[in-house]
Structure 1
Amino acid sequence: MTTSEKASGGAGESDRAAFRAGPVDEQSRVRLTANGLDYRRVSIDEDEFASWLQAVGRGFLDSERSAEQIASIRERSGYRRVTGVYDPAGPMPEVPVSTIASWLGDLSVPGGALIPSCAISAVTVSPTHRRRGIARAMLEGELRAAQAAGIPVAMLTVSESTLYGRYGFAPAARRAGWRIDTKRAGWIGPRPDGRIDFIPRERVRELMPVLHDGIRHLTAGEIDVPGSHWDNFAGTTPTAEKAGEKRAVQYTDVAGEVRGAAIYAVHPDHDDFTKAKVSVHYLVAADDDAYAALWRFLLELDLVAEVSSHELSVDEPLLWMIADQRAAKVSVFDHQYVRIIDVVAALETRRYGAAGSLVLDVDDALGLSTGRYLLEAAADGSARVRALDDGESVEAVTVSLGIAELSATYLGGVSIETLVRAGRVAVDAKGAASTSEAVATASRVLGWHTAPRLSIWY
């Protein structure tokens, strides 16, 4: 079985366990040791995990974790590889000055395949230890550890969007934040048969992962969501914020099958009880009827003047289900960042928008993915990819780009044409009649017909 064939099926539990147990990167360890710092993995079963959690909370400006919260997080963290950097000379040598967590997850790519990906989270550096190369050592170390484990892609969501491009990450799936004036919107969408019912939060916790896993492969950018995230959405863990505010509903079709669910919170306006606001924490729909029924329910709630949601697609059908599109204020943000590590495995896993051949001349400052690659896409959307030998000449449109730019195109969220116009990519018309035709060819091949999306933070 080839690397790409293994990749297309997603990660197995043995692969996940091996990655969790893998050592820290030796190159980064030596670099940090030379600076008097200790770089090591952290056991979630030991007391050091509590100190690691407190450092993470401090890094994200959160309050200290209680003993109950630490116990709850420990119970739900078995899927993660946890790493810290420690300063033995400091007054609190048991508390890390830098943290990072990662796990092996499945990323959905154009065409419905899943690719094993290193999901990175909890990246912090103490303000007392800035500009000492710690973040660089940890992120480069995690990428090299992923490469050593045969993981083709890394991914993350970010608090500070300018930090990760230097490591080859690029925004590959954007999110849309919506605020809808319900009095103005007017529902003109479908009115499916079936029913909406309130359900306990414990029940929606059971439903959400099942519904999500049934459809996540249909949208590029989605991942297999760790169980702790569902606990937080549903408010069924001590670490969940304002759990008592959350309400849950389900949609059941005429055959009696649950096809969708939503969690939302109501924020009353005590000066005017007709102007409450609703925030939608999560909505999952297995089909179009469930999608329409759930959104209609939310937009027609009594005494509610505004409905908001913040992890939606940039191409939501909802916009065409309301009579006045100006009732929706939509803001678009970068969200799912992707970093290709193994170009051949990553590109052979996804599908393509058109048939054609491209030479991809890839530059990677970290040296993980540098090379020239021939991509031959077939009419069915599949592709063969191989690294070209030094000096090997191929009569095909050549696209010269950095690994960040290639990663940005990976889920189909940005076109080569856009990146060319932005000065980020160069296209050689070799094999095409003109440069404009070459750019159009590259854009068609590397494009995809639907916008990518990620419905969570991690």
Structure 2
Amino acid sequence: MSSLADQFHSAALDEQLASTFEARGLQAARVGDDDREGTRRWQDAVARGFLDGEPTEVQYTESFARNGYRRKVGVYDDGGVQADVPVATFASWGTELTLPGGSAIPMCAISAVTVAPTHRRRGILSTLMRGELRTAVSLGFPIAGLTVSESGIYGRFGFAPAVTATSWEISTRRTGWIGPVAPGRIDYVTREQGRDAATALYERVRLDTPGEITMPGGHWDRTFGTRPDVEKADKLRVVQYRSPSGEVEGVAIYSISEDDDDWAASTATVSRVVAGTDAAYAGLWRFLLSLDLVGTVRASELSVDEPLWWMIDNKRAARITSRDHHYLRVLDVPATLAARSYDVDDVIALEVSDPLEIAGGTFILSAGETPGVDVVDEPPLGVPVVRLGVAELSAILLGGVSPVTLARAGRIETDDPHRAARVFAATTTPRLSFWY
């Protein structure tokens, strides 16, 4: 763990956060990494918030063992019957976010945000979010991010959908393969072998795609069913792609759901494809679309610009749905904008408003090979001005949406949206290949 992540993990709760809850008869507290019983009760609250059943002993044990990297916060009501079970939960940790151009910046990742139905409409989430973001800012995180279950919640805190994900359902009987025929070979491997290969491959390729983050602790074991609390791990099948020279360049994991009415119409659900080369990508997807006794292949958390679209001959055999996925929230405008790359040399002014008064101000972005950002009182004459909220800035950061689109939607104001669009354009469509 980086020093910044370490500092954030162990930082004291924001004083304003703590005092606000105390004034309302509630107590906010960090759940210690060594507090086994407190972690169980915190996990109970998280399970309740996400409509899950009561955790099993195996789930308690695995969560305690694997989630120590998370900064866990609970809000407690001493007047409740179960006073040791938090009425709200919040988890966060330090990670890295890939930006256009292959650079990465520290990011405060947020997860496990819940408020008990008995304590809604009391400002608990607002107090938690504001306080934890203040802590992240004080330590130097330039950006925060989260994946959401409900998309209407986080805009008021300055978050915006920066990465869209797609889900695919392909009728393999209705389409044929027109993509490249990869020269390597496909082999079945154990879940452990697949996990190890995917871990190494992802770390190698994550800087190629804006929007990807460092894989959180325990996620690979969950994906590959190599931890005791994963249900139906025995249904998972793993294959790897090896180049002609013998290098492992790709891994795919899937499971099969049989169709009792038509044994040749089973469904394959692809959990993950990690490809380090174009040949591995083509080889693995060609294999998955030609599985015996399978009529439908499903996959999710794919890009909105997936190469697979151009590898099947009947586009209408694929039903594709899109959904907001990775939300970002800029905390430090100069640090964030200076960290990404730009394909044009230009200068624009950004007048940023921020509902939480964290990242607002007027900034001059000098885009180019060596970008720079200056804080000014007024934009200089002759420089085009873009007026936008921090949410809109967060949305265009990775190139996932054009400023032209946001201008037409009334979300930003500028006399030259096309010029701003050229500045923030990215050659690689952003993607986040998992939930966290």
Alignment partners' CA distance in 1, 2:367 and 2:231: 47
Structure 1 position 357 matched with structure 2 position 354: no
Measured after TM superposition, the shift of residue 243 of structure 1 is 1.2
Corresponding position of 2:359: 369
The 3-state SS of whatever aligns with 1:105 is strand
Q: Map 1:155-170 to 2 at 5 A.
A: 155-170=145-160
Aligned residues: 435
Specify the alignment match of 1:419 in structure 2.
406
1:267-295 CA-partner distances (Å, limit 9, x unpaired): 00011101000000011000000000000
State the SS of the aligned residue for 1:455.
coil
2:301 is aligned to 311
Partner of 2:374 in structure 1?
386
Within 5 Å, give how 1:146-225 maps onto structure 2: 146-225=136-215
Once residues 121 and 353 of structure 1 are traced to their aligned partners in structure 2, the CA distance between those partners, rounded to angstroms, is: 33
- What is the CA-CA distance between 1:361 and the residue it aligns to? 0.1
Shift, 1:44, TM fit = 2.7
After superposition, the Cα gap between the structure-2 partners of 1:14 and 1:421, relative to the gap in structure 1 and judged at 3 Å, is same
Equivalent residues in 2 for 1:172-321, closer than 5 Å: 172-321=162-311
Distance 1:447 1:392, change over 3 A: closer
Question: In structure 2, how many angstroms separate the alpha carbons of the residues matched to 1:194 and 1:300?
Answer: 16
Structure 2 distance, partners of 1:272, 1:439, is 54
Residue matched to 1:432: none
Quote the offset at 1:121 in angstroms.
0.1
Question: SS of the counterpart of 1:393?
Answer: coil
- Cα distance change on mapping 1:195 and 1:155 into 2, 3 Å: same
Corresponding position: 1:115 with 2:93: no
How many angstroms apart in 1 are the aligned matches of 2:91 and 2:217? 16
CA gap of 1:198–1:391, structure 2 versus 1, over 3 A, is closer
* SS of residue matched to 2:218: helix
1:58 aligns with 2:48: yes
Residue 404 of structure 1 aligns with which residue? 391
The equivalent of 2:422 in structure 1 is: 444
Contact 2:349-2:379 at 8 Å conserved across structures: no
Q: CA deviation at 1:68?
A: 1.6
The answer for the alignment partner of 1:453 in structure 2 is: 431
Q: Is 1:42 the equivalent of 2:31?
A: yes
Deviation digits for residues 213-258 of structure 1 (CA, Å, limit 9, x no counterpart): 1000010000110131111100111222321211111001100010
d(CA) in 1 for partners of 2:138, 2:234: 44
> Does the residue aligned with 2:213 lie in a helix, a strand or coil?
coil
Tell me how far 1:395 sits from its aligned partner.
2.6
In 2: Cα distance, 1:152 partner to 1:391 partner: 23
Once superposed, which parts of structure 1, at least 4 consecutive aligned residues long, lie more than 6 Å away? none
Paired AA for residue 407 in structure 1: S
Using the TM superposition, name which of 315-324 and 350-359 deviates more.
Answer: 350-359
Distance 1:207 1:365 in 2: 44
Structure 1: how far apart are the matches of 2:177 and 2:90? 45
Q: Match of 1:21?
A: 10
2:364–2:379 contact (8 Å) kept in structure 1: no
TM value normalised by structure 2: 0.98
1:197 partner SS = strand
- Partner letter of residue 412 of structure 1? G
Offset of residue 394 of structure 1 = 4.3
* Matched letter for residue 192 of structure 1: A
Question: How far off its partner does 1:149 sit?
Answer: 1.0
Cα pair distance change 1:376/1:125, threshold 3 Å: same
Quick one: which amino acid aligns to residue 345 of structure 1? A
Please tell me the root mean square deviation across aligned C-alpha atoms, in Å.
1.0
- The residue type equivalent to 1:116 in the other structure is P
Inter-CA distance 331–392: structure 2 relative to 1 (3 Å threshold): closer
**Contact conserved, 1:359 with 1:394, CA < 8 A, in 2?**
no
Contact 1:264 1:279 in 2 (8 A): yes
**Do 2:94 and 2:108's aligned partners in 1 also have CA atoms closer than 8 Å?**
yes
Indicate if the aligned counterparts of 1:341 and 1:368 stay in contact, CA closer than 8 A: yes
Secondary structure at 1:227 match in 2: coil
Equivalent of 1:104, from 73, 87, 94?
94
In the aligned structure 2, how far is the partner of 1:392 from the partner of 1:440? 19
Alpha-carbon displacement from aligned partner over 1:89-136 (angstroms, at most 9, x marks no partner): 111111100001000000001000001000000000000000111000
